[in-house]
Homo-oligomer: A and B are copies of this chain.
């Protein structure tokens, strides 16, 4: 198969300070579909055009942030193989039983050197995207409830040791480096964008002293006009916006960053180009992140909060 191994981001479990407030945000403002609640009280959501049962799990906690971020792999044999590969690479892996997350098969969990918990899984119940199976329409009314992104697209995580993280993702999990920001001294990498597909990012990391931090979960829109609409809807709901609407120089994506009621940053974005593993990675100097337009291409400046506020 040409698409093998790790397919795509599958789910993220996010900690929110108040569950119902979080549900209202992700369901009514962001416009995800609530698909279930479990005995632990966790709430499951998916984007309208996702076919699997869930991509976002909200867990109430006294501390915001991310519990784990998971990738769907091709099949159970792939899951077994990647688990062995991770163990051979020296990582400790843990099997989470099927059903611990609703409608989700066994997961292989491991902690990466940046302090984040990553999961792999092969099975999640397909519930469909609400379109008829034969001769489908291109979208449903759910595509216009709230911001209504089509999918959970990627996340950006902050933590230490991202050189080791890159090595792990590239050598064991089959990712490749798409873009990177060099350190202030021109050496090392301060930030990396990694892909397991032809997306500009399936996951990204910024070097940061504190382990296990979440910078943002990102949700995909389909046009720049939908980004404008997202900004309107966020403002109508008084959701505080961090940056945007604007275009990133990095990845060329067009974006708005904002904060959920618990202070977790999320992104609604569109665009970017489509890289392949044979492409030379694009390099940004540290200055390029700011005045070079890496973060905010039109404004060509850094936004302090982008570098410092994480959960």
How many copies of this chain?
A: 4
Interface of chain A residues 275 through 296 with chain B (CB within 8 A): 276-280, 282-285, 288, 292-294
**Binary interface encoding of chain A residues 247-284 relative to chain B, with 1 for a CB under 8 A from any of its CBs, else 0:** 10100101010000000000000010110111110111
Contact A293 B1 (CB under 8 A): no
Return 7 A-B CB contacts under 8 Å, by A number. A2-B7, A3-B195, A49-B273, A198-B199, A222-B271, A232-B297, A235-B297
Bound-complex Cα distance A50 to B147 (A): 25
**Binary interface encoding of chain A residues 177-207 relative to chain B, with 1 for a CB under 8 A from any of its CBs, else 0:** 0000000000000000001111100000000
- Interface residues in chain A, defined as those with a beta carbon under 8 Å from any beta carbon in chain B: 1-8, 49, 51, 72, 74, 126, 133-139, 144, 150-151, 173-176, 195-199, 222-225, 228, 231-232, 234-236, 238, 241, 244-247, 249, 252, 254, 256, 271, 273-274, 276-280, 282-285, 288, 292-294, 297-300
Known: A196-B2, A234-B298, A300-B238. A138 touches B247 (CB 8 A): yes
Listed from nearest, the 10 A-B pairs whose CB atoms lie closest are: A231-B298, A2-B196, A135-B288, A2-B174, A135-B292, A1-B174, A2-B5, A138-B252, A2-B6, A225-B225
In the complex, how many angstroms separate the beta carbon of A241 from the nearest chain B beta carbon?
5
Contact A137 B8 (CB under 8 A): no
Give the residue of B126, B241, B288 whose beta carbon is less than 8 angstroms from that of A280: B126
Residues of B within 8 A of A7 (CB): 2, 276-278
Give the residue of B137, B223, B249, B282 whose beta carbon is less than 8 angstroms from that of A249: B137
Contact A2 B246 (CB under 8 A): no
Bound-complex Cα distance A6 to B133 (A): 29
Residues of B within 8 A of A279 (CB): 51
Known: A2-B3, A2-B7, A138-B247. A235 touches B278 (CB 8 A): no
Residues of B within 8 A of A2 (CB): 3-7, 173-175, 196-197
Residues of B within 8 A of A134 (CB): 282-285, 288
Contact B298 A249 (CB under 8 A): no
Residues of B within 8 A of A173 (CB): 2
